[in-house]
Structure 1
């Protein structure tokens, strides 16, 4: 694989056009994010990969095929086993006359535009690996897109994004309001209400722009002053896969039963601590989620909404005090029990933990009975515990 930077990347796409290439162009960033561009006779006919393939597919369907209800589309694991599952799904919807050719073209064009933009952003901060695969998958594409036109759009959109001071912010990030008290003093009550409703860490900037019926650039630019002041923070969030049909379907009663089982989260960079916690809790009938990367804690917690959180005090990059204070500024976690775990049981640590909003404080010498006692103290648990 050949290592190339932004200029080399452009050249690679242009070479594929000039030689009327048919096949796949695989690209990968230094961080491991992968994109695949499908060519037919020098024209790009589809692209897959990136950070949020399922969110992207949902959003573009909602934008260009509003009559389709994506939540009612059920897939088997076989349906999404292909790298180009999203294209196959479009093809299927078109064959069933549920969407029109014009809608397919719009979705293809916008998929390419988004993935090329994300690739350009990555290429400006790290090296990109490229590799061609002669295997032709899409023999009869539904849509042909001029690679030269797509590359010009990529350059223009990246230039506009950078000049707006947004180069370091990905449109795949989600804005979350972390200091509502500051915002309340800065804007009108109606604007504040909209912020509280929309800026909740659940929607990416692209999804937010769709909700507001605007382009992502002006929406992000309008949020920039609040981001720079620390009122709003941009966080990475996970993808949202489409529902998969399972062989053994659960009844509504069993689904409700599972969702009612308390979920315990443990944020600790030590895999040993997380493993011990899991060995204590899962046999007791509790659900458990471990988070070893403190930087990923917020989006994962927002996604899973645990009933109680055990939080390590000393971690690299971000410590437990900072995470606890951040969580308390989010309405979703205003009343969630947060138990600080620490190896040093000093008075100063206890006072500081209390100041940032922790519910409890316990030693990292984890004992099963103490963990269970703490959980029973703060949340309702199954009778068998």
Structure 2
């Protein structure tokens, strides 16, 4: 059995495997710019990243789920929750690489060496299966192949598919309600306003948040450390993210900091401008026009991801398209204006329309000005200089 996820969804595939009591493995491949983002070397425009997953079955039940080429880091994250410090050596880990499922083999080595107990091993498997299915049931595009083969052995536990689907489907519906403040389990938690946190929460709670909000720990890792599902963790931090006390960012901090230092050392540096537009050509045009003028121009093509990135980039001015899939420019502008960090930052709306109603709507959500596409070089430069000069 193989095909495209446009023709049959993951839920239906899993149900068919369960009904047929199949034994074997399911391989799923997808390109996702939402769950794992990489930045191009020449700029900050997103490139989709290939992802893959394996799900192992025995008589229509799930034995294990593996992400990508497998990494023991997922299991080590859970071991941290159980305060288990002992690990296998590098040479021993290398010997597991040739097995069918290296991560699963690593788990069994821990069991056989009595580093973990079967109950802990079973709990880790449940957590890994749950988080993998959470990602898979979110997919709408990709390819899959189900290959009937001997079962992954030995088995520590098997999990029924139907109850898992029911539970995770419900969680995904609740997860969508957290958008756009929380977008991906892979986002990193960053402390944004410790003063406001301390004035509103007990010291013990703030200390815990400060410990995890280090810009290096993802929501998914935090869920593993706490041995909780991702939705539970996300719902706990959601009010603080909504208030702007905590921020969720993508894993681009090191590159952004390097990029910032190099740019700000330039003699003609005049400010940072972010352009949010799903049309790649517009972003390239803005960069082409503004960079020779001494501005640092950064194009972001995914509106949902742009929301978290702008908090980290801290631009002096934002150019934002009005009509975009998933999230309109009006919504982005309104949400940014609700944050104290962006109440005074100039936001200029870009659109192909030149209508009175669009201008009124832009003003109502807090837009500073309006620029109609296509625009001339001088139009953009004049408008940018008008507001950058006010801010400088």
Category of TM-score, reference length = shorter chain: 0.5 to 0.7
Picking from 274, 295, 305, the partner of 2:283 is: 274
1:240 aligns with 251
RMSD of aligned C-alpha atoms? 5.9
Work out whether residues 43 and 144 of structure 1, in 8 Å CA contact, stay in contact via their aligned partners in 2.
no
2:185 aligns with none
CA–CA separation in structure 1 for the residues paired with 2:79 and 2:386? 46
Offset of 1:217 from its aligned partner? 5.3
Whether 2:320 is the aligned partner of 1:311: answer: yes
CA–CA separation in structure 1 for the residues paired with 2:367 and 2:164? 44
Residues 64 and 374 of structure 1: is their aligned pair in 2 closer, same or farther, counting only changes over 3 Å? farther
2:46 aligns with none
Q: How many matched pairs? A: 317
1:111 aligns with 128
1:181 aligns with none
Residue 361 of structure 1 aligns to a residue in which SS? strand
1:183 aligns with none
1:26 aligns with 27
Alignment map for 1:215-364 (pairs within 5 Å): 215-216=229-230, 218=232, 240=251, 256-258=261-263, 262-284=271-293, 286-302=295-311, 304-315=313-324, 318-344=327-353, 349-364=358-373
Residues 298 and 115 of structure 1: is their aligned pair in 2 closer, same or farther, counting only changes over 3 Å? same
Work out whether residues 28 and 54 of structure 2, in 8 Å CA contact, stay in contact via their aligned partners in 1.
yes
Whether 2:54 is the aligned partner of 1:36: answer: yes
Residues 67 and 379 of structure 1: is their aligned pair in 2 closer, same or farther, counting only changes over 3 Å? farther
2:145 aligns with 131
CA–CA separation in structure 2 for the residues paired with 1:311 and 1:54? 41
Runs (5+) with no aligned partner, structure 2: 33-49, 87-93, 183-198
| TM-score of the superposed pair, with normalisation by structure 1 | 0.55
Q: Once structures 1 and 2 are overlaid, which stretch shifts more, 331-340 or 347-356?
A: 347-356
Deviations 1:172-215 (CA, angstroms, capped at 9, x unpaired): 966739xxxxxxxxxx9439x97xx79x9x99765665687755
Alignment map for 1:163-242 (pairs within 5 Å): 166-170=171-175, 176=181, 189-190=200-201, 206=220, 215-216=229-230, 218=232, 240=251
Deviations 1:241-260 (CA, angstroms, capped at 9, x unpaired): 8989xxxxxxx998733477
Residues 14 and 307 of structure 1: is their aligned pair in 2 closer, same or farther, counting only changes over 3 Å? farther
CA–CA separation in structure 1 for the residues paired with 2:30 and 2:123? 27
Residue 151 of structure 1 aligns to a residue in which SS? coil
Work out whether residues 174 and 205 of structure 1, in 8 Å CA contact, stay in contact via their aligned partners in 2.
no
CA–CA separation in structure 1 for the residues paired with 2:356 and 2:176? 43
Residues 207 and 312 of structure 1: is their aligned pair in 2 closer, same or farther, counting only changes over 3 Å? same
Runs (5+) with no aligned partner, structure 1: 69-78, 178-187, 245-251, 381-385
Residue 348 of structure 2 aligns to a residue in which SS? strand
